[in-house]
Amino acid sequence: RSTTPLEPLNFTDSTMLRSILIATLCLAAVFAVEAEKKNIFESPRGAFCSPCERIVTDIETAVEKGEPGLLQHCENLCDELLGHIGSLAQQCKDWIDKDFNEIMEKLNNDWTPEAICHDMHLC
Q: Which CATH number fits domain 40-119: 1.10.10, 3.40.1130, 1.10.225, 1.10.3470?
A: 1.10.225
DSSP state of 109: T
Q: Tell me: pLDDT of 21 over 80.
A: no
Q: Tell me: pLDDT of 42 over 70.
A: no
Is 21 or 99 the better-scoring residue by pLDDT? Answer: 99
**Lowest mean pLDDT: which of 4-8, 74-78, 97-101, 108-112?**
4-8
pLDDT, tens only, 78-105: 999 888 877 888 999 999 999 999 999 9
pLDDT, tens only, 44-82: 456 778 889 999 999 999 888 888 888 899 999 999 988
This model's pTM is above 0.75: no
Distance CA 1, CA 90 (A): 58
The dihedrals phi and psi of 43, each to the nearest 5 degrees, come to -95, 135
